[in-house]
Chains A and B, each alone.
Chain A
Amino acid sequence: MAMTLTPMEQFEVKPLMEHPLFHIAGHPIYFTNQSLLMVVVVIVASLFLSLAVKPGRLVPTRGQSMAETSYEFVANMIHSATGEDGLKFFPFVFSLFIFVLFSNFFGMVPGSFTVTSQIAVTFSLSCLVILLVIVVGFMKHGIGFLKLFVPHAPWYLLILLVPIEVISFFTRPISLSVRLFANMLAGHTMLAVFAGFVVALGSAGGIFTGLAIAPMLLIVAIMLLELLVAFLQAYVFAILTCIYLNEALHLHDQH
C-alpha cells in the first residue's frame, strides 16, 4: 500500500486568500495560515488576560489567579535576573513571554499551526530583543556601552579578545531564535512521524494492526513532553532576554 508520510507538511505557510492583501516592493503579501494564527494568539492572549483580571476580586477566580500567577512569575524572573531597575522592561518581557507561550500552546492543538516553528518569526523576535539591548545600552551608558566588548586582560590579548566578544554578542539573536525554532520544529516533526507510524501500521492488516497501539501510546507520552517543552522554551526565551537586558543595564559589574 502506498503511503506518503509528510511530517513536514504541517509547517507549510499557505495563503488563505486568493488575492494578496497588498504589495511591498513588487512582492505580494498574503494573509497566510501563519498570520491567522498570530492574530488568534494575540487576540486570545489579550482577551484572556484583560478579562481575567477585570473582576479584580480579593479572592481570585480561577482565571484571575492564572493571570496573576503569570504576572508574578515574570515579575519575579525579571527581578532576580536584572534587579530593581529591570522592572521598567516588564511590559516588553511579559508580552514576549505570553506571545511565545500562547503560540507554543496553540501549536499543540491538533490541526493548528505552530507560529514559533517558523525561523522568520523567532528571528524577528530575537532581533527585537537584541536591538532593544543595544538601544538601552547606548542610552544608559553612552559610548561606554562598548566596554561590554572589552574584558579585563592585557592589551596584546585584547586584539584577539575584542573580536571574539563582538562575534559572541552577535551570536545571541541566532542562538536565541534557533533554540526556540528548533525545539518546536523537532517536537512537532516527531509527533507527525509517530502519527504516520500509527496510520501505516493500522492499515497494514493482520498482526500489525494491533501493533499500532505502541506508537499511539508513544504519541501520548511525547505530547506531554511537548507541553513541557512549550512552556520551557517560552521561559528560556524570556529569561535570556532578561539576562541580556541585565548586561546592557549593568555592563560587567554584576558578574
Chain B
Amino acid sequence: MTSREPDRLRELGERLEDVQRRQAAKAKGPPPNQLGIAGRFATELVAALIVGGGLGWGVDWLFGRFGFHTRPVFLIVFFVLGAGAGIRNVMRAATELNARMASKDLEK
C-alpha cells in the first residue's frame, strides 16, 4: 500500500508525524497543580498513619486472642512507625515531583 501511496499523502503523513512528535515532547502529562500536590501529600501521610495504627491494633488483637494483654503497646509502636512511613511516602512523592518539574523546566 505504501508504494502506491501518492507522494502528497506520504508527505502529509511525514509532516503529521513530525507535529505529533513535537507535541508528545511538549505535553507529557498535565502539569501538577498546587492543590493536587497538597492533596497528594496529605493523603500519603494520613493513609500511612491509618495503616500503621490499624496494623498495631491488629497485632494487639491477635496477641489478646492468645492471652497476652499487650494492648496498647503495639498500637503505639506501629503508629509511630506509620508516621515514619508517612514521611517516607511524602519524601518519595516529593522526589518524584521534583524529577517531573525538572524535566518540565529543561524543555522550556
- Complex contact B47–A174 (CB within 8 A): yes
Instruction: Answer whether residue A179 sits at the interface, using C-beta atoms and an 8 A cutoff.
Output: yes
Q: Mark A135-177, 1 if CB is under 8 A from B, else 0.
A: 0000000000000000000000000100111011011001100
Q: Mark A17-28, 1 if CB is under 8 A from B, else 0.
A: 000000000000
- Complex contact A175–B47 (CB within 8 A): yes
- Complex contact A167–B82 (CB within 8 A): yes
- Interface-centre pick from A80, A168, A178, A243 (highest chain B CB count, 10 A): A168
- Complex contact A171–B47 (CB within 8 A): yes
Instruction: Answer whether residue A94 sits at the interface, using C-beta atoms and an 8 A cutoff.
Output: no
Contact partner of B88 (CB less than 8 A), chosen from A165, A239, A243, is A165
- Interface-centre pick from B40, B46, B78, B81 (highest chain A CB count, 10 A): B81
- Complex contact A174–B85 (CB within 8 A): no
Q: Mark B4-44, 1 if CB is under 8 A from A, else 0.
A: 00000100000000000000100011100000100110011
- Complex contact B30–A167 (CB within 8 A): no
Complex Cα–Cα for A182 and B92 (A): 21
- Complex contact B36–A174 (CB within 8 A): no
Contact partner of A179 (CB less than 8 A), chosen from B9, B28, B29, B39, is B39
Instruction: State the Cβ distance, B46 to closest chain A Cβ, in Å.
Output: 8
- Complex contact B86–A171 (CB within 8 A): yes
Question: In the complex, which residue of chain B has the Cβ closest to the Cβ of A179?
Answer: B43
Instruction: State the Cβ distance, B29 to closest chain A Cβ, in Å.
Output: 7
- Complex contact B88–A164 (CB within 8 A): yes
Question: In the complex, which residue of chain B has the Cβ closest to the Cβ of A151?
Answer: B88
Task: Give every chain A residue within 8 A of B40 (Cβ-Cβ).
Answer: 179
Instruction: Answer whether residue A29 sits at the interface, using C-beta atoms and an 8 A cutoff.
Output: no
- Complex contact B30–A168 (CB within 8 A): no
Task: Give every chain B residue within 8 A of A35 (Cβ-Cβ).
Answer: none
Contact partner of B30 (CB less than 8 A), chosen from A178, A183, A235, is A235
Task: Give every chain A residue within 8 A of B78 (Cβ-Cβ).
Answer: 163, 167
Instruction: Answer whether residue A30 sits at the interface, using C-beta atoms and an 8 A cutoff.
Output: no
Task: Give every chain B residue within 8 A of A243 (Cβ-Cβ).
Answer: 96
Instruction: Answer whether residue A231 sits at the interface, using C-beta atoms and an 8 A cutoff.
Output: yes
Task: Give every chain B residue within 8 A of A248 (Cβ-Cβ).
Answer: none
- Interface-centre pick from A160, A178, A182 (highest chain B CB count, 10 A): A178
B→A interface (CB under 8 Å):
9, 24, 28-30, 36, 39-40, 43-44, 46-48, 50-52, 55, 78, 81-82, 84-86, 88-89, 92, 96
A→B interface (CB under 8 Å):
58, 76-77, 80, 160, 163-165, 167-168, 170-171, 174-175, 178-179, 182-183, 231-232, 235-236, 239, 243
- Across the A-B interface, give the 8 residue pairs with the lowest CB-CB distance, nearest first: A167-B85, A168-B85, A174-B47, A175-B47, A171-B47, A164-B84, A171-B48, A175-B43
